[in-house]
Structure 1
């Protein structure tokens, strides 16, 4: 009798443990007819579809999906690797004004992750990285990070009748939209992460997201030496709403940095930002428009800054190679009067340094930018893009800025507004679902203001291979 009781109790415990998996089993069947796809943010991948043995068709699939329960296919362990190798040649960093000579080097990013899922509710994601730049003469803070913790967070997901609650606590990546102002910084060698608490309520078509964070500050002195502290703090509250073919979003953000330095102000920076964006696609058109206003203080001075950016285009799906004709417009404020009580230079926060081009010559500050482009698709896997970008300063009272928001000496208050133009050619090729290749060439023809500051025309070439498993 006692033995039967123990067996019944054990059976009851097993049922309770596996009950979440039993509830999700039917839902899982619906999306198991295809293999998961590789995501640039590896923590967003869901490999539970490999619970279906028929989908385990690739080498090492036994490591992509390691089941932890015979009753719950969504309790599993997954391993993965990302390797990016990029060659870069830049004959004039900062247009040659910084005294740096041209450089050719390799950027290597190797990442390894372990992803634990329990009951479609809990996620523990950990990623390590080793990032190096062999051959690079002058190292920046985003060039090398030898053997360090990239991401480590605890995630929670719970679905209710009204919507889904998601939360993450720990080191993680945060990016919004086209990553104009909040990005994971994928262009440089070292991506940006945040030690943060993130919470999200998804009741489609409405979504509310919020986070508080300390951005990770990268060091390359010894292994596992990256830190975050309250010298820099960043948080935001965001609302999104789907409207037919578009998504409307807006957010409020607070950025705090100790001992900030601008051309016209120094001291603690407390910057409030209000952002609005509309994006979508339909009937061959695609559009993305975003604007941000900033206010606050730097030391004893007030902040009054703004920026706006748009990308829109039309794709001729009925024509050979499906050409897309696009136009990009960007504007960001500069400081219109030196020596007054207001700082007008826009702070791009955690902007994507490769937003204009992979060369990353100019930053999103004191800028007017017009960029027509044409993209064609000779095959489903291959895209070719050609573009020309025209740039001016928003005000000649402020400097020309290079990435990441560094003013070029000798340009503030001097010269005319014309900064120069650049020509861009880019190729992207998806070799396989796990391997991609890209190449980009940029020629920047500088204006007279940059020439008087010691600058000259610049050429950039980059070629990369990215392997993801």
Structure 2
């Protein structure tokens, strides 16, 4: 047999692998939403094995999920429980393109993470990640990557084998990321969003929303940055959408200092509706953001919000990390309420005029052990600011979480 034929046979050989993770997580809340809801404490169980078969340029991935919630008040929602279902199931093809390029095509059910996942993420932190059904094409050439996406969000059901993208929200995107100079990168993108049954407070109808974004990120020496500007246009129930958001994260590390501290500052603003513009929707929609957006357990999401969030990360050893997270929150508009990560309004504006919502203090510990096991825990308190006092019940939210994850 010729050497070339042997090489072709080797490249076409089928390889099969198994990996995945198992996780147990506890979350507990005293006075959720500042006393609007009863105390809650529950256990989240998740198993996600991943089977992968590869042969030459082709790959098939199948990843089921087993996810259950035990003890949630009112029963577990989509982010808590899915039963037994298919998390990922896709096939993709990839081909070299010149010396430093590659083109790939993927079809099926998959998790998607674009950029820093402020608009389209895997939602890994909660018990049920967010999959999508559809197609993706990627073109990579040197430091540049272009992603084309046309998918529908999978609607998570609480029973076994009932997750489906039928009737789900549609997402299309053209997403370019490249390097402007050494250590300086940018993303330029458009994300198109369609929801046939959208709801924003008392408003219901068809929503079509286009997001145009620019993200600047990189590092120079000990300094890293990740800044993103997002502008949204479209319609919701016939009303014009005019929304926007600015998100920033800047950090500086001191690797030669005791505990190798990293100082971090996040500052964010997301627009909200104003009472003097009733013909417009000015509330920003974060679409499908990453889980735990402002911290491990905070109830707020990025809609009608101003957030100032300093923090420090300490690394005593390579396997131990401690993070202290402080944050203050204000309403961007007095005419709008406050929302959770899923976009549900959790406090209406009413007659309240105060902007300050409250302050968050949170500490978390992560310990990576050998053989794929990691442990983590967090404690937090979210105080009640003037807006909470003016809009309803008043109390400090106490939060606790802990999890054990085994990756194999």
| TM-score, reference length from structure 2 | 0.95
Q: What's 1:31 paired with?
A: none
Cα distance between partner residues in 2 of 1:401 and 1:358: 17
Residue of 50, 73, 98 corresponding to 1:113: 50
User: Do structure 1's residue 165 and structure 2's residue 103 form an aligned pair?
Assistant: yes
Question: Residue 58 of structure 2 is aligned with which of 98, 122, 137?
Answer: 122
1:132 aligned to 2:71? no
- Candidates 89, 92, 110, aligned match of 1:152: 89
1:343 corresponds to which residue?
281
Superposition deviation, residue 89 in structure 1: 0.8
Q: CA deviation at 1:412?
A: 4.4
Residues 364 and 412 from structure 1, CA distance in 2 versus in 1: closer, same or farther, beyond 3 angstroms? farther
Deviation (angstroms), 1:111: 1.3
- Equivalent position to 1:260, from 194, 198, 208: 198
Match of 1:45 in 2: none
Q: Is the 8 A contact 1:398 1:413 kept in 2?
A: no
Structure 1 partner of 2:208: 270
Partner SS state of residue 70, structure 2: coil
Q: Is the 8 A contact 1:151 1:193 kept in 2?
A: yes
Which protein has the larger Cα radius of gyration, Structure 1 or Structure 2? 1
Could you say which structure has the higher helix fraction?
1
Task: Report the counterpart of residue 301 of structure 1 in structure 2.
Answer: 239
More strand by share: 2
| Residue matched to 1:425 | 363
Structure 1 residues 468 and 387: CA distance shift in structure 2, 3 A = same
Match of residue 227 from structure 1: 164
Whether 1:246 aligns to 2:192 is: no
| Equivalent in the alignment of 1:317 | 255
Structure 2 spans left out of the alignment, 5+ residues = none
Q: Helix, strand or coil: the match of 1:133?
A: strand
SS in structure 2 of the partner of residue 451 of structure 1: helix
Q: CA RMSD in A?
A: 1.8
* RCO comparison, higher one (Cα < 8 Å, 6+): 2
In the TM superposition, residue 266 of structure 1 has moved relative to its aligned partner by 2.4
**Unpaired runs of at least 5, structure 1:** 1-10, 22-70
Task: State the partner residue of 1:76.
Answer: 15
Cα–Cα, structure 1 residues 147 and 241, in superposed 2: closer, same or farther, change >3 Å? Answer: same
Is residue 456 of structure 1 aligned with residue 380 of structure 2?
A: no
Residues 412-436 of structure 1 deviation map (CA, whole Å, 9 limit, x = unaligned): 4523100000001011111125111
Please say if residues 21 and 405 of structure 2, whose CA atoms lie closer than 8 Å, have aligned partners that are also in contact.
yes
| TM-score for the superposition, normalised by structure 1 | 0.83
Deviation, 1:455, is 4.0
Q: Which moved more, 1:400-409 or 1:347-356?
A: 400-409
